Structure 1
Amino acid sequence: MDLQLSGRVAVVTGASKGIGLAVAGTLLAEGMRVVAASRGRSAGLDALAGGSLVHVPVDLMDPEAPGRVVARAVEEFGGVDVLVNNAGGPPPGVKLPRFSFMAPTDDDWREMFEFNLFSAVRAIRAAIPQMLRRGGGAIVNISSGSARQPAPMNVDYGAAKAGMNNLTKALSEEFGPQGVRVNTVSPGPVLTAWWTEEGGAADIIAGQAGTDRESVLKSVAPEMMGLTTGRLVDPQEIADVVALLASPRSGSTTGAEFVVDGGFLKAV
């Protein structure tokens, strides 16, 4: 299926690994020009290098950083058609999960919201005028099943992502009539560095459960989180949905949430 994305310009945050890297690669494969924002490069991002990819090294905890990324897209490619707010998860230097509401401090809450919500707010604020100048565009916000499945674990993260869901709906109402579609993709647990890196979620849960990292990834985590598929989500499965939502072929889809979570959410 031709997604009609060839020649369009996308900004993807958190693009050096995991979901963001898969999104950047997928949009490039569809013929888009991609501005990839991340704190550093990676082997995966280097493998995508070419004339259609520009990497902008930024720390999105810096309030000025999202605007600089959008400005770079305008400078390099003339505008912005698609914004994918993917950066999120543990803020730099933070390890998750935390297992109680009492665990995060005020500073932890502020950092979580800066990284998972406010960075997206700032990127959207910078991108929308550029989209309107080009007659419209598409924003895809990467949220989480945790936004709609409250739990004592990672309470601050779930609250930030719930804000992302609300933001998406509000933006779709205001800017949909002007041609800017805004949608959310809510992953469940995804097989990314958040889980797999040393000291990451798999190791933390393994320490709590008295088992090892591989067992957590293969069976403990899927069982603990009630995943119907019995496995963590692959980043490419998220990227495929993002590409469809970015496409003009989704022209009547706005203010929607697409859940790609292995069956994590059970509610109707």
Structure 2
Amino acid sequence: MDLRLSGQVAVVTGASKGIGLAVVSTLLAEGARVVAASRGSSPGLEELAGDDLVHVAVDLMEPSAPGLVVARAVEEFGGLDILVNNAGGPPPGVTLPRSSFFEAGDDDWRTVFELNLFSVVRAVRAAVPLMLRRGGGAIVNVSSGNARQPSQMNVDYGAAKAGVNNLTKALSEEFGPQGIRVNTVSPGPVRTPWWTKQGGAADVIASMTGSDRDSVMDRLAPEMMRLTTGRLVDPQEVADAVALLASPRSASTTGADFVVDGGFLKAV
């Protein structure tokens, strides 16, 4: 299917690995021009290097950073059509999951909200005026199943992502009549570095359960989270949903939440 993204200009945050890297690769394959934002580059991002890809090294927790990334899209490609707010998860130096509400203090909550909610707010604030000048655009905010499924694990993260969902609905109502569609994609547990890196979620859960990291990712985590598919989600599966929502083929989809979670959410 042609997603009709050829020549479109996109900003993707958290772009060097995992879901973000898959989104960048997918948008490039569809003919889009992409500004990829992350703290540093990666071998995967470097493999995609070309005239249609610009990497911006920024810390999106810095208040000025999202605006700088959006401005770079104008500088390099003349405008902005698509914004994918993917940056999120554990802030630098933070290990998730936490197993209790009491494991996170005020500073922990602030840093989680800075990365997972406030960076989204700031990126949207910078992007919307540019999209309005072009007659519209698409914003896709990567949320989480934890936004809708409260848990004692990662309470601060779930609350921040719930804020992203609420923000998305509000933005879709205000700017939909002006041609800007705003949607969320809510992954379940995705096999990304959050899980796979040394000291990541797989190792944390392995230490809690007396298991090993491979068993956690292959069997224990899907069982604990009651995933219908019996496996963690692949980043490309999330990227495909993001690309579809960014596409003009989704012209009547706004204010929606696309769930790509392996059956994690059970409620109607």
Aligned to 2:80: 80
What letter matches 1:243 in structure 2? A
What letter matches 2:35 in structure 1? V
- Residues 214-248 of structure 1: CA distance to partner in whole angstroms, max 9, x if unpaired? 00000000000000000000000000000000001
Structure 1 residue 19 corresponds to structure 2 residue 19 = yes
SS at match of 2:40: coil
Q: Distance in 1 between matches of 2:177 and 2:164?
A: 21
Once the two structures are superposed, the pairs formed by residues 169-208 of structure 1 within 5 Å of their partners are: 169-208=169-208
Superposition deviation, residue 91 in structure 1: 0.6
Q: Distance in 2 between matches of 1:255 and 1:174?
A: 10
Once the two structures are superposed, the pairs formed by residues 29-48 of structure 1 within 5 Å of their partners are: 29-48=29-48
What letter matches 1:118 in structure 2? F
Superposition deviation, residue 38 in structure 1: 0.1
Q: Distance in 2 between matches of 1:247 and 1:196?
A: 31
Superposition deviation, residue 2 in structure 1: 1.0
What letter matches 2:107 in structure 1? D
What letter matches 2:65 in structure 1? A
Q: Distance in 1 between matches of 2:179 and 2:57?
A: 30
Q: Distance in 2 between matches of 1:144 and 1:102?
A: 22
- Residues 94-147 of structure 1: CA distance to partner in whole angstroms, max 9, x if unpaired? 110000000001000000000000000000000000000000000000000000
What letter matches 2:204 in structure 1? I
Aligned to 1:101: 101
What's the TM-score, normalizing by structure 1? 1.00
Moved over 3 A (4+): none
Q: Distance in 1 between matches of 2:216 and 2:171?
A: 38
What letter matches 1:248 in structure 2? P
Aligned to 1:92: 92
SS at match of 2:208: helix
Q: Distance in 1 between matches of 2:247 and 2:151?
A: 34
Structure 1 residue 214 corresponds to structure 2 residue 195 = no
Q: Distance in 2 between matches of 1:185 and 1:151?
A: 19
Aligned to 2:252: 252
What letter matches 2:243 in structure 1? A
Aligned to 1:242: 242
What letter matches 1:74 in structure 2? V
Superposition deviation, residue 204 in structure 1: 0.2
Q: Distance in 2 between matches of 1:150 and 1:215?
A: 25
Q: Distance in 2 between matches of 1:161 and 1:188?
A: 12
Q: Distance in 2 between matches of 1:18 and 1:198?
A: 15
What letter matches 2:184 in structure 1? T
Q: Distance in 1 between matches of 2:3 and 2:193?
A: 29
Once the two structures are superposed, the pairs formed by residues 44-59 of structure 1 within 5 Å of their partners are: 44-59=44-59
- Structure 1: which 5+ runs fail to align? none
What's the TM-score, normalizing by structure 2? 1.00
- Residues 69-90 of structure 1: CA distance to partner in whole angstroms, max 9, x if unpaired? 0000000000010000000000
SS at match of 1:44: helix
SS at match of 2:223: helix
SS at match of 1:102: helix
Q: Distance in 2 between matches of 1:151 and 1:172?
A: 27
SS at match of 1:117: helix
SS at match of 1:35: strand
Q: Distance in 2 between matches of 1:163 and 1:8?
A: 28
Superposition deviation, residue 93 in structure 1: 1.1
Q: Distance in 1 between matches of 2:134 and 2:92?
A: 34
Q: Distance in 1 between matches of 2:16 and 2:222?
A: 25
What letter matches 1:68 in structure 2? L
Structure 1 residue 230 corresponds to structure 2 residue 230 = yes
- Residues 21-63 of structure 1: CA distance to partner in whole angstroms, max 9, x if unpaired? 0000000000000000000000000000000000000000100
SS at match of 1:3: coil
Q: Distance in 2 between matches of 1:92 and 1:71?
A: 25
What letter matches 1:35 in structure 2? V
Q: Distance in 2 between matches of 1:165 and 1:32?
A: 26
Superposition deviation, residue 162 in structure 1: 0.2
Q: Distance in 2 between matches of 1:43 and 1:88?
A: 20
Matched positions, count: 268
